């Protein structure tokens, strides 16, 4: 068989069902072979960024290998922003790019480029297959690296002459690597004693907790210690039972906000967390000097990366926490009353946070356009029980995670920060869970980065409700420009942030790509609009007017 057929047979042996992409001439042989392989589907995105984020969403939500196939340098270049997000999500992904015939690459033909050089900073491993005999070895290695913790994207450049060449192949599928590696027992015992010796410990749950399925083990540990749990600042999901009394929500995304929380404690145990990365520089360190730090992670790179630590455990969170729970049960001499008092204290703090959110919603309920807090509370109250939230709502969704403390639904949020992820990622999530509706919460500005994803949702009949939080501006940029306190704030003139002249007609955009769409102006229309959208067999779009940021201005020209 030729290289293309071998490539697809190796993917089939690895259990791959979907290939996401946008094809060019180097992918024509693949499309031809796939026409005779009904057990594998090619999912078309109208832009490589769309297809890349769909593959990311699918791999993230299913835990299975996602595959994205791009076309030469410009096509792969279009996908780099979403590949950055995938590198932060850590989804198991095989990313490929068709390459020009290697026999004339020295002449730098049209569309040729250093694909491996482009991919290397954003992937766990990147390689160009130079000869046909290396294809099976490269494929098995790539799949193993992508799916072994810490999972993440890998890249293969596939020259067209290699894929056309015929040979005999060993199509043995890759062997999965067992990942339940327990941490060093001596260090585990030391950590257990440190936790029991602490008067005010706190747990921070990172995304490696959810990936290893360690939520139950972390919950049991928190209950044994009577200590609160926070999610890491930019977590992809909660990684803890969101409605549990000990869960205190997500740490702030500012150094000051994190420090204000952590100053209340004497020991921090970070489990599977990227600790602690921020988007902007500040002189103030988020970790207080006197706070002792312990880390457990399956990724050695994250251990001790930024701060001095008392102890570091390299291991799978689920397997290691299970052992720690048994040891702490054996070692602990704390009374049930002491633990109950600690749990009651943090349950009360949680209740106060929810009450504060309720007061905010009540105060903002009469605003027109509606406040983001009102929209989020209404959406979560009326979302279907089996619904999945995909969140790229930016400033309009600041209260979303707090709303989910009261009614926890499956949740995935933007971790990498590269805008445009939400529309296509929600489609990929729905491919992973075809029997569950997905609610994609999107800013109007970020939705426009990859609005072509609506077509893919309609074409493949995906049950996604795209909820556009429309304030007709890049609100977060405008707000920060105002806080900068310079000429823009002085003259109330904010350049490059308003999307109102002309206003974007999302209803017409959605309808033009086959998506049922409607406009919502008032809070009392939200619940009915959501119910109507969920009745549709395929996707739907709600264009919802929400308030802008302070100060309100006319568009600056």
CA distances in angstroms from 262 to 240, 281, 291, 378, 402, listed in the order given: 18, 19, 8, 32, 19
What is the chain's pLDDT, residue by residue, as a tens digit (557 residues)?
A: 999 999 999 999 999 999 999 999 888 999 999 999 999 999 999 999 999 999 999 999 999 999 999 999 999 999 999 999 999 999 999 999 999 888 887 788 888 889 999 999 999 999 999 999 999 999 999 999 999 999 999 999 999 999 999 999 999 988 889 889 999 999 999 999 999 999 999 999 999 999 999 999 999 999 999 999 999 998 899 999 999 999 999 998 889 999 999 999 999 999 999 887 777 778 888 999 999 999 999 999 999 999 999 999 999 999 999 999 999 999 998 888 989 999 999 999 999 999 999 999 999 888 889 999 999 999 999 999 999 999 999 776 778 999 999 999 999 999 988 899 999 999 999 999 999 999 999 999 999 999 999 999 999 999 999 999 999 887 878 877 887 888 888 888 888 888 888 999 999 999 999 999 999 999 999 999 999 999 999 999 999 999 875 444 443 33
Judge if the upstream peptide bond of residue 50 is cis by omega within 30 degrees of 0. no
For residue 343, count other CB atoms closer than 10 A to its CB: 19
Is residue 214 within 8 Å of 269, Cβ to Cβ? no
Mention the CATH class of domain 3-164: alpha beta
Compute the distance between CA of residue 333 and CA of residue 293 in angstroms, rounded to an integer. Answer: 23
Element (H, E) at 312: strand 311-314
Compute how many other C-beta atoms are within 10 angstroms of the C-beta atom of residue 237: 22
Q: How far is CA 171 from the centre of its chain?
A: 33
Q: pTM of the prediction?
A: 0.94
Helical pair 48-62 and 80-89, crossing angle rounded to 10 deg: 10
Short-list 333, 316, 308, CA closest to 192:
333
CATH number of 185-350: 3.40.50.1220
The domain segmentation of the chain, as residue ranges, is 3-164, 185-350, 365-545
Answer for the pair 263, 237: CB distance below 8 angstroms, yes or no. Answer: no
- For residue 2, what are the CA distances in angstroms to 28, 96, 160? 13, 17, 11
Architecture of domain 365-545: 3-Layer(aba) Sandwich (3.40)
Q: Measure the CA–CA gap between 440 and 539, rounded to whole angstroms.
A: 11
> Helices 526-534 and 372-382, interaxial angle, to 10°?
40
What are the φ/ψ torsions at residue 307 (nearest 5 degrees)? -135, 150
How do 201-205 and 153-159 pair as beta strands? unpaired
Report pLDDT for 335: 86
The number of residues making up the chain comes to: 557
Distance (Å, whole) CA 516 – CA 530: 12
CA separation (Å) from 113 to 33, 106, 119, 132? 26, 10, 11, 20
- Given a contact cutoff of 8 angstroms between Cβ atoms, the answer to whether 246 and 311 are in contact is no
């Amino acid at each position: 068989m030729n290289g293309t057929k071998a490539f697809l047979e190796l993917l089939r042996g690895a259990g791959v069902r979907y290939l996401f992409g946008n094809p060019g001439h180097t992918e024509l042989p693949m499309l031809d072979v796939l026409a005779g392989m009904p057990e594998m589907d090619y999912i078309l995105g109208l832009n490589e960024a769309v297809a890349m984020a769909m593959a990311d969403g699918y791999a993230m939500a299913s835990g299975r290998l996602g595959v994205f196939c791009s076309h030469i340098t410009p096509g792969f270049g279009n996908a780099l922003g979403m590949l950055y997000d995938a590198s932060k999500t850590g989804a198991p992904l095989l990313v490929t790019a068709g390459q020009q015939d290697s026999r004339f690459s020295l002449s730098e033909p049209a569309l040729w480029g250093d694909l491996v050089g482009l991919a290397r900073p954003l992937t766990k491993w990147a390689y160009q297959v130079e000869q046909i005999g290396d294809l099976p070895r490269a494929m098995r290695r790539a799949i193993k690296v992508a799916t072994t913790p810490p999972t993440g994207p890998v890249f293969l450049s596939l020259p067209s002459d290699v894929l056309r060449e015929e040979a005999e192949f060993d199509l043995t599928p890759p062997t999965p690597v067992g990942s339940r590696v327990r941490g060093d027992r001596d260090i585990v015992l030391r950590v257990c004693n440190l936790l029991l010796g602490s008067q005010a410990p706190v747990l921070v749950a990172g995304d490696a907790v959810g990936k290893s399925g360690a939520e139950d083990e972390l919950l049991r540990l928190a209950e044994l210690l009577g200590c609160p749990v926070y999610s890491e600042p930019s977590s992809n999901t909660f990684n803890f039972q969101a409605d549990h009394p000990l869960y205190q929500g997500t740490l702030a995304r500012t150094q000051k906000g994190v420090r204000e929380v952590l100053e209340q404690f004497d020991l921090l145990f970070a489990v599977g967390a990227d600790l602690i990365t921020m988007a902007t520089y500040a002189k103030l360190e988020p970790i207080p000097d006197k706070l002792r730090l312990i880390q457990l992670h399956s990724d050695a790179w994250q251990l001790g990366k930024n701060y001095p630590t008392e102890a570091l455990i390299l291991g799978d969170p689920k397997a290691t926490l299970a052992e720690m729970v048994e040891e702490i049960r054996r070692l602990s001499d704390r009374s049930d009353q002491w633990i109950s008092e600690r749990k009651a204290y943090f349950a009360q703090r949680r209740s106060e946070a929810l009450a504060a959110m309720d007061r905010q919603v009540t105060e903002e309920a009469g605003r027109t356009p509606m406040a983001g807090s009102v929209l989020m509370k209404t959406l979560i109250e009326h979302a279907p029980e089996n619904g999945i939230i995909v969140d790229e709502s930016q400033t309009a969704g600041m209260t979303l995670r707090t709303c989910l403390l009261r009614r926890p639904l499956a949740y995935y949020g933007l971790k990498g920060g590269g805008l445009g992820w939400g529309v296509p990622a929600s489609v990929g999530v729905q491919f992973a869970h075809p029997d569950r509706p997905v609610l994609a919460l999107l800013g109007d500005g970020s939705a426009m980065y990859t609005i072509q994803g609506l077509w893919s949702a309609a074409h493949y009949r995906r049950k996604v409700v795209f909820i556009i939080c429309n304030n007709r501006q890049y609100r977060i940029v405008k707000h920060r420009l105002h806080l900068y306190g310079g000429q823009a704030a002085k003259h109330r003139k904010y350049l490059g942030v308003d999307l109102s002249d002309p206003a974007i007609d999302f209803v017409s955009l959605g309808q033009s790509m086959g998506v049922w769409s409607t406009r919502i102006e008032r809070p009392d229309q939200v619940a009915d609009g959501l119910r109507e959208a969920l009745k549709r067999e395929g996707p739907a779009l709600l264009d919802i007017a929400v308030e802008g940021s302070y100060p309100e201005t006319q568009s600056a020209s």
